[in-house]
Amino acid sequence: MMENAWLIPLFPLLSFLILLLFGKRLKEASAYVGILLTLASLVFSILVLFERFSEPTYSTKFDWLTIGDLHLTAGFEVNQLNALMLFIVSLVSFLVHTYSKGYMNGDERFPVFYAYLGLFTFAMLGLVISPNLLQTYIFWELVGVGSFLLIGFYYYKEEAKAAAKKAFIMTRIGDVGLFIGMILLFWETKSFEYSEIFAAVDAGAVSGTMITLTAILIFIGAVGKSGQFPLHTWLPDAMEGPTPVSALIHAATMVAAGVYLVAALFPLFAASKTALLTIAVIGAFTAIFAASIGLVQTDIKRVLAYSTVSQLGYMMLALGSAGYVAGVFHLMTHAFFKALLFLAAGSVIHAVHTQNIEEMGGLWKKLKLTGPLFLIGTLAISGVPGLSGFFSKDEILVAAWEGGHPILFFLALIAAFMTAFYMFRLFFLVFTGEARSEQKHVHESPNNMTYPMILLGVLAVIAGYVNTPWFGSFLGDWLVDGNPALGHGHVEGPIWIMIAATVVSLAGIYFAYLMYRKRSIARNTISGTGDTLHTILLNKYYVDEFYQLTVVAFTKGLSYFLRFIDVFLVEGLVKGVVGIVQGLGRTGSKMQTGQVQTYGAVAFFSLALLVVIFALTGGYLR
Amino acid sequence: MNLQSTLSILVFSPLLGIIVLAFLPKQSEKLIKVVGFLATIPALLIALAAYLHFQWGKDLADFAVSKAWIQFRGMGGVPEPFFSVNYELALSGFQLVLVVLTAVVATLSALAAAKFVKKEWKGYFMLFLLLEIGMLGVFTAENLILFFIFFEITLIPTFFLIGKWGYFEKEKAAYSFLIYNGLGSAVLLIVIMILFAKTGTTNIEMLAQIMADPSAPLSGDLKLGLLISLLIAFGVKLPIFPLHSWMLKVHVQAPPSVVMIHSGILLKIGAYGLIRFGMGIFPEQFKTLSILIAILGVINLLYGAFLAFIQTDFKMVLAYSSISHMGIVLIGLAAMNEAGVQGAIFQVISHGLISALLFFLVGVLYERTDTSLIGNLGGIAKGMPIAAGFLLAGAMASLGLPGMSGFVSEFMAFLGLFKELPWIAAVGTIGIIMTAAYLLRAVLGMTYGKSHREFTGVLDLKGVELIPVGVLMLLIVVIGVFPSVLSSPLQTTLETIMLGIGG
Amino acid sequence: MTFSGEFLAFMGLALVALIGGVLLLNLTKVVHMVVALIFTFVAIAGIYVLLSAEFVASVQVLIYSGAITIIMLFGIMLTKHDDENEPKTGKLRKLLVFLGILGFAFAVYIGIYNFNVEQEQTALHENNTMQIGKALYSKYIIPFELTSVLLLAALVGSIILAKNEKKEADDE
Amino acid sequence: MSSVPASAFLALALILFCIGLYGALTKRNTVIVLISIELMLNAVNINLVTFSKYGIAPSITGQVFALFAISVAAAEAAVGLAILISLYRTRKTVNIDEMDTMKN
């Protein structure tokens, strides 16, 4: 089965092509094309995953591009991480395909939506089976385009347009880091192949500085894609896209690609302490930074978006603390519960036609299915014991503690508290209390929207049990099997960490309960010291404005300056040339008196001059 | 099988069209268009056949032809008794891909011309076919003087095509085209003549051999001077900052079908010349200048990108984008290694296809909406989704999206330069970001967002118009996904160049 | 260099020719100029005789001294020549031309200064006219015929040019 | 045998040619310009005839060519005068510097 793994990405590509060419004629039927082909991918992925449990890594390659003596190859590889990612991506993608059939129903560009989904899924699946950096980069960019197209799906909305543009450019900034890192690494190791790069790093063929440099450059790519500080601002804006897209791309798959990249190149990062520390610091900072913004946002999807950024920071923190398993594990569980949360949020939006949580409330009774599912997701992300998020988060905290930087550990703990708090703030505001605005025709979503949510809900609960301190760490052992560079499968941390995590998350929930349900604490207690803090948080620390004032303004300024040069200097040069030519022409035309004699005289004089020169020099020019 | 006459037939096949057109009455619009289009087909077929010939593993040297043409007695101090200029055409892998590109773009441009040209079709197509002869000749000539003759043949028809069938300021654009290129080719002529006088031959390969010989009658300084002259001559064509301003005017004022040719192929003559003559004949001196060329390349790349960022006219954006993309060619050349040079060549081909596509689309847009100002357009994705889709796809190709040709070239050029001059290359990568920024700003500004005015009567691409965009897009994607279709013919050329460099 | 008869003859003829030429340049009346030129032409005919080209010499006398000079005189008489004074402008041009001619003459003189080929015995003076006739009617028959065509064309052309004007005048 | 060197004839021809040239380029009267041209042609004829006697390969050809030149000169003089007269009829002048139709 594994030798046919290359087919997995091709199904969605086929879907993309079919829908692109015949979408107009297929109309509503295009959904089935997309769903069926993604299902095929899913089935293949499951088969591959199960086969990978028992068999060793499979990889193959062929020459893609020849440059003199250099042969760049393309191919695919099914190792543990890839197989797991294949499964996650194709599963979420399949569910989102199904969900969208209901959510996007009636949109006039329905087939286009499915085509884009197909393109994105293709790129994402291609990304996770790439055996080399170049191929990774190729799909990395394609994923970006898929995301760009889907964010800008409502192309007629100015916000969507701006968000799409922002997403593309911000991630591209990161991509350039990856690009440079990749090329530098290539010239150091003479190969793009992961295996050869690791071998070279292992053999000490690459200098320490170079490892750190390339690792950090590649990490910049991951920062861009995974919305880490300081390139995080595009991700919340990306919520302008349709909600299923947010679930697929901006929660479960693409943004996790950054984490995946770091995980896939983990042996490289592991070779540099500096790089690891950088990742950990950025991750921890992003986690708490984004969580704090998430505390005050009022748009349901934006809260989830900041939560995503924060959780991705968690994963980075785990990887940076050498907790390879913890990072990947959290990546998996997060994919499930965050996708669930987004789909549920989509369901809510579908019902009430607003995204502002201040206008919601009391939906628990009206949305009998969405409510509990959302609660499951909220509990999972908050790290309540028993659900998947608890185990993975615990793993990360352990890794952070073992990583030897207590500050990072405490930051993570605070972020966990905030996560629990803002998630339950969201839950209480949306589902409990009284409706704060008039809501007509609130109804539960159709089946093809709820079934995917139910499945994800189940996974959000049970997915954690594949790797727990209680029932064995199957996933972790499997992931690091045969690859000592990745660290231990499971690290037994002190028990108090688990207790602390639980206490922190429960505390967060309790605070939220007091503040938003019982209202026994005034909502401005925390920010009671003044509105300043609240304003800062609401404006996301003014990062966007900061960029606008510095980077964008600088670029524009430079552009105008260059245009000044273009207009005055270069055009001046042109004018000068033109002036000289014209001057010559004028002089020439003055000599055109129309008198044959003058012409003759001039011609003769010149001839005589030439003859004299020749006579003096002795003939042919030497 | 004797293939010697193939190239001559290839180059001069459009002549048949010119002759037929000469006998057609001026008014029979349809017939003229059909003949004009059909006249480009033989060259296309022969070019494709030559490509297949190569892919079937046969030798391209079969095509080489050499006939004695002009000979005269040598004068003072030259070893050879005779100065000879031969009629020499040949086809290396590099030339082959350029010839195919030329034939394809020319055919598509003829198709576009049938759409965009509104008057005096007869004159247009005759000049156009003459231009095609020139372009094909430039890429197949194996002799500098023959090259120069064909080079001049491309100038004159272009001048008239711009000056007569262009937009409002067409005369101005045509004159600045002529003056700049005239000066450039004058410099080129001087270089050729000095080479000729010093060595007695203008055969490119023989010149390369003579230059490689340390006992050659040229001093290193003279060679350096000649190379700098070549850099100026082809720099005008490419164009290299600050010799670019003529090209902006041409891109804005010329009719779309001419811009397709101009941006797609004529600019590439500059790159071709630099690679073939600059690097092929003066490899050592090129190495001396490589840092300068790299810096020029980065300047081109960034300068074009930053200026494209604030343009209000989409044509101007594309024009500056061409400057920016030609910077990548320079970057690749400056690397002086296989990856870089191959990247430069890829960029030549890739940009030829992409800019032909984009300018065709701009032409369509302009025809439908009477404007190409980004501010006036907006939201056209609603009225013309297919055109908008292709526009977006073209922009993606242009900004170097993997899976399309632009990425492969950009990647290889940077791959090459990072090996040699990593710091300059690192500065250059800012260009990658800027390219994305300005292209998205322009394309999204036109296709996305709210429409500023109602383009209700605006029709989407349809019928014949789909052929050029479809074919170009297909080629772009094929090269992007299977770059070996392009890289395999180039390997021999690369080996030769690398041998010259000694790397 | 001996003062042989031939040399003396050459010197005399050359002197006459040059004086004629200089007078052509310096005389003020047009008719005088033409008359000065007749001397030159005749002197040149003498030079031809010295160069053993009797037939050419006779043709020279007939055509130049006779026909062309007469035509010129007719031309002068048929047109008005009221301003015989020197032109006021064109000093610069005169200087330029003078310098050019000096340079040219100098350059050519360098060329002919040492020109001296082995003088061979030639039989040009024996039956000169017959030799020319033979050459004209055998070797140069086509140029000869072409010349006749040219003369005819010139004849017709001059007539038409001179006549055309009258017609137009009539039309007016 | 001959006591007069070839270069003497050539020098004479050169001087006459220069005189003719000077006249042709500076004189204002068209008739004189025409005459000066005749003088130049004559100078050339002297050269031709000289070389027919003193050339590297002396032969009658030089003289034949001189004859051709004379006949062409005659034709030229005739046509030139015809043009001159027709011009004079329209312009009422023979001054060469007033004939500048080439300017426009």
CA B62 to chain centre: 25
The dihedral through the CA atoms of B451, B454, B456, B459 has a sign that is negative
| Chains near A (3 or more Cβ pairs under 8 Å) | B, C, D
Position C172 scores a pLDDT of 41
Distance CA A442, CA A436 (A): 14
In terms of pLDDT, which residue wins out, C84 or B321? B321
Residue C22's CB is within 10 A of a number of other CB atoms, namely: 14
Q: Compare all CA atoms of chain C with the CA of D96 and give the residue at the minimum distance.
A: C87
Residue C11 is which amino acid? Answer: M
C22 pLDDT higher than 50: yes
B466 pLDDT higher than 70: yes
The answer on B295 and B251 residing in a single domain is no
Chains B and A physically touch (3 or more Cβ atom pairs below 8 Å):
yes
In a domain, D38, yes or no: yes
Task: Kindly report the average pLDDT of chain B as a whole number.
Answer: 84
By the CB < 8 Å criterion, does B28 face chain A?
no
Cross-chain residue pair A604–D21, CB shorter than 8 Å? yes
**Do B414 and B429 contact (CB within 8 A), yes or no?**
yes
A527 pLDDT higher than 70: no
CA distance A599 to chain C (A): 11
In a domain, B119, yes or no: yes
Band of pLDDT at residue C117, cut at 50, 70 and 90: low
Distance CA A200, CA A197 (A): 5
In a domain, D33, yes or no: yes
By the CB < 8 Å criterion, does A558 face chain B?
yes
In terms of pLDDT, which residue wins out, A27 or A96? A96
Instruction: Take residue B167 and report the two structure tokens written for it.
Output: 């937009």
A521 pLDDT higher than 60: yes
CA C42 to chain centre: 10
Partner residue facing C110 (CB), from A604, A608, A615? A615
Which of B395-410 are b and which e, b meaning 16 or more Cβ less than 10 Å from the residue's Cβ? bbbbbbbbbbbbbbbb
The answer on B257 and B403 residing in a single domain is no
Band of pLDDT at residue A497, cut at 50, 70 and 90: confident
The dihedral through the CA atoms of B93, B96, B102, B104 has a sign that is negative
Position A622 scores a pLDDT of 42
Position B130 scores a pLDDT of 92
By the CB < 8 Å criterion, does C91 face chain A?
no
Q: Compare all CA atoms of chain C with the CA of D18 and give the residue at the minimum distance.
A: C101
Beta bridge partners of B203: B143
Task: Kindly report the average pLDDT of chain C as a whole number.
Answer: 80
Domain holding D61, by residue range, is: 28-95
Position B134 scores a pLDDT of 92
Chains C and D physically touch (3 or more Cβ atom pairs below 8 Å):
yes
Partner residue facing B339 (CB), from A70, A169, A578? A70
Band of pLDDT at residue A620, cut at 50, 70 and 90: low
Cross-chain residue pair A164–B448, CB shorter than 8 Å? yes
Q: Compare all CA atoms of chain A with the CA of C106 and give the residue at the minimum distance.
A: A612
In a domain, B118, yes or no: yes
Partner residue facing C103 (CB), from A597, A598, A608? A608
Find, among A349, A377, A376, the residue nearest to A363 by Cα. A349
Cross-chain residue pair A601–C97, CB shorter than 8 Å? yes
Beta bridge partners of A62: A74
In a domain, D68, yes or no: yes
Position A163 scores a pLDDT of 87
Residue A511 in 3-state DSSP?
Answer: helix
Residue A380 vs residues A292, A393, A399, A414, A463: alpha-carbon distances, Å:
19, 10, 20, 17, 10
What phi, psi does A257 have (nearest 5°)?
Answer: -60, -35
Non-local CB neighbours of A430 within 8 Å, separated by 6+ positions: A300, A348, A357, A360, A361, A363, A374
By the CB < 8 Å criterion, does B419 face chain A?
yes
Residue B108 vs residues A93, B127, B368: alpha-carbon distances, Å:
40, 16, 20
Distance CA D68, CA D50 (A): 16
Distance CA B223, CA C74 (A): 66
Residue A75's CB is within 10 A of a number of other CB atoms, namely: 17
Q: Compare all CA atoms of chain D with the CA of C52 and give the residue at the minimum distance.
A: D53
Residues from chain A that touch B339, judged by Cβ atoms under 8 A, are 67-68, 70
Residues from chain B that touch A139, judged by Cβ atoms under 8 A, are 402
Instruction: Take residue B312 and report the two structure tokens written for it.
Output: 């209000």
- Per DSSP, chain D holds a count of helices (H) and strands (E) of 3, 0
D19 pLDDT higher than 50: yes
Cross-chain residue pair D81–C72, CB shorter than 8 Å? yes
Cross-chain residue pair B306–A70, CB shorter than 8 Å? no
In a domain, B200, yes or no: no
Cross-chain residue pair A597–D97, CB shorter than 8 Å? yes
The answer on B148 and B297 residing in a single domain is no
Partner residue facing A594 (CB), from D24, D26, D100? D100
Residue B449 vs residues A235, B194, B452: alpha-carbon distances, Å:
20, 58, 9
Residues from chain A that touch D96, judged by Cβ atoms under 8 A, are 595-597
C80 pLDDT higher than 80: no
Band of pLDDT at residue D3, cut at 50, 70 and 90: low
By the CB < 8 Å criterion, does C103 face chain A?
yes
Instruction: Take residue A607 and report the two structure tokens written for it.
Output: 């001839």
Chains C and B physically touch (3 or more Cβ atom pairs below 8 Å):
no
**Do A146 and A124 contact (CB within 8 A), yes or no?**
yes
The answer on B441 and B353 residing in a single domain is yes
A621 pLDDT higher than 50: no
Non-local CB neighbours of B265 within 8 Å, separated by 6+ positions: B101, B102, B105, B106, B135, B352
In a domain, D32, yes or no: yes
**Terminal Cα distance for chain C, rounded:** 68
Position C119 scores a pLDDT of 62
In a domain, B214, yes or no: no
Number of domains composing chain D: 1
Q: Is A132 exposed, middle or buried (0-12, 13-18, 19+ CB in 10 A)?
A: buried
In terms of pLDDT, which residue wins out, A364 or B340? B340
Number of domains composing chain B: 2
Distance CA A485, CA A198 (A): 9
Non-local CB neighbours of B323 within 8 Å, separated by 6+ positions: B239, B241, B244, B247, B300, B303, B304, B307
The answer on B244 and B383 residing in a single domain is no
In terms of pLDDT, which residue wins out, C84 or B335? B335
Contacts 24+ apart (CB under 8 A), C68-71: C68/D38, C68/D73, C68/D74, C68/D77, C69/C34, C69/C37, C69/C38, C69/C41, C71/D77, C71/D78, C71/D81
Residues from chain A that touch B245, judged by Cβ atoms under 8 A, are 566, 570-571, 573-574
Residues from chain C that touch A602, judged by Cβ atoms under 8 A, are 96
pLDDT tens digits, one per residue of A150-163 = 888 888 888 888 88
Dihedral-angle region of residue B370 (phi above 0 means left; psi in -120 to 50 means alpha; beta otherwise): left
Domain holding B84, by residue range, is: 1-177+240-269
Task: Kindly report the average pLDDT of chain D as a whole number.
Answer: 82
Q: What is the ipTM of this complex?
A: 0.70
Partner residue facing D100 (CB), from A595, A600, A604? A595
Cross-chain residue pair A600–D24, CB shorter than 8 Å? yes
Distance CA B446, CA A165 (A): 13
**Do A162 and B444 contact (CB within 8 A), yes or no?**
no
Angle between helices A80-103 and A324-352 (to 10 degrees): 0
Residues from chain B that touch A160, judged by Cβ atoms under 8 A, are 448
Mutate which of A593, A611, A616 to disrupt the C interface (most C C-beta within 10 Å)?
A611
**Do A65 and A225 contact (CB within 8 A), yes or no?**
no
**Terminal Cα distance for chain A, rounded:** 79
A564 pLDDT higher than 70: yes
pLDDT above 90 as % of chain A: 0
CA atoms within 13 A on the CB side of A368: 3
By the CB < 8 Å criterion, does B496 face chain A?
no
3-class SS letters over A433-469? CCCCCCCCCCCCCCHHHHHHHHHHHHHHHHHHHHCEC
Partner residue facing D28 (CB), from C87, C97, C113? C87
For chains A and C, count residue pairs whose Cβ atoms are closer than 8 Å: 37
Cross-chain residue pair A158–B450, CB shorter than 8 Å? yes
Distance CA B344, CA B333 (A): 6
In a domain, D22, yes or no: no
In a domain, B400, yes or no: yes
Distance CA B232, CA A577 (A): 15
Non-local CB neighbours of A208 within 8 Å, separated by 6+ positions: A271, A272
Residue B71 vs residues A3, B74, B146, B255: alpha-carbon distances, Å:
65, 9, 14, 42
Position A129 scores a pLDDT of 87
The answer on B114 and B261 residing in a single domain is yes
Residues from chain A that touch B402, judged by Cβ atoms under 8 A, are 137-142
Residue A400 vs residues A212, A317, A407, B115: alpha-carbon distances, Å:
21, 7, 9, 66
List, as one string, the DSSP characters of B361-429: HHHHHHHHHS--BTTT---HHHH-HHHHHHHHHHHHHHTT-TTSHHHHHHHHHHHHHHHH-HHHHHHHT
Mutate which of C93, C94, C102, C114 to disrupt the A interface (most A C-beta within 10 Å)?
C93
By the CB < 8 Å criterion, does C87 face chain A?
no
Window 119-148 of C, Cβ < 8 Å to D: 119-122, 124, 128, 131-132, 135-136, 139-140, 143, 147
The answer on B264 and B293 residing in a single domain is no
Q: Compare all CA atoms of chain D with the CA of A592 and give the residue at the minimum distance.
A: D103
In a domain, D85, yes or no: yes
Q: What CATH number does the domain containing D88 carry?
A: 1.10.287.3510
Cross-chain residue pair C93–A607, CB shorter than 8 Å? no
Worst-scoring range by mean pLDDT, A202-206, B86-90, B211-215, B253-257?
B211-215
Q: Compare all CA atoms of chain C with the CA of A615 and give the residue at the minimum distance.
A: C107
The answer on B454 and B310 residing in a single domain is yes
Dihedral over alpha carbons A551, A552, A556, A558 (to 10 degrees):
10
Position A421 scores a pLDDT of 85
Residue B59 in 3-state DSSP?
Answer: coil
Find, among B237, B263, B370, B353, the residue nearest to B317 by Cα. B263
The answer on B335 and B260 residing in a single domain is no
The answer on B475 and B373 residing in a single domain is yes
Position B135 scores a pLDDT of 92
Cross-chain residue pair C135–D1, CB shorter than 8 Å? no
pLDDT tens digits, one per residue of A264-320 = 888 888 888 888 888 888 888 888 888 888 888 888 888 888 888 888 888 888 888
Q: What angle do CA A386, A390, A392 make, to 5 degrees?
A: 125
Band of pLDDT at residue B133, cut at 50, 70 and 90: very high
Residues from chain A that touch B430, judged by Cβ atoms under 8 A, are 176
Find, among B145, B153, B125, the residue nearest to B11 by Cα. B153
The answer on B422 and B385 residing in a single domain is yes
Average pLDDT over residues B380-394: 83
**Do A242 and A157 contact (CB within 8 A), yes or no?**
no
Residues from chain D that touch C50, judged by Cβ atoms under 8 A, are 4
In a domain, B339, yes or no: yes
The answer on B67 and B140 residing in a single domain is yes
In a domain, D13, yes or no: no
Contacts 24+ apart (CB under 8 A), A22-31: A23/A111, A23/A112, A23/A114, A23/A115, A24/A111, A26/A111, A27/A110, A27/A111, A28/A110, A30/A110, A30/A111, A30/A114, A30/A115, A31/A97, A31/A100, A31/A101, A31/A110, A31/A114
Mutate which of C92, C101, C104, C113 to disrupt the A interface (most A C-beta within 10 Å)?
C104
Residues from chain D that touch C36, judged by Cβ atoms under 8 A, are none
CA atoms within 13 A on the CB side of A246: 33
In a domain, B371, yes or no: yes
Position A458 scores a pLDDT of 86
pLDDT tens digits, one per residue of D77-95 = 888 888 888 888 777 776 7
By the CB < 8 Å criterion, does A589 face chain D?
no
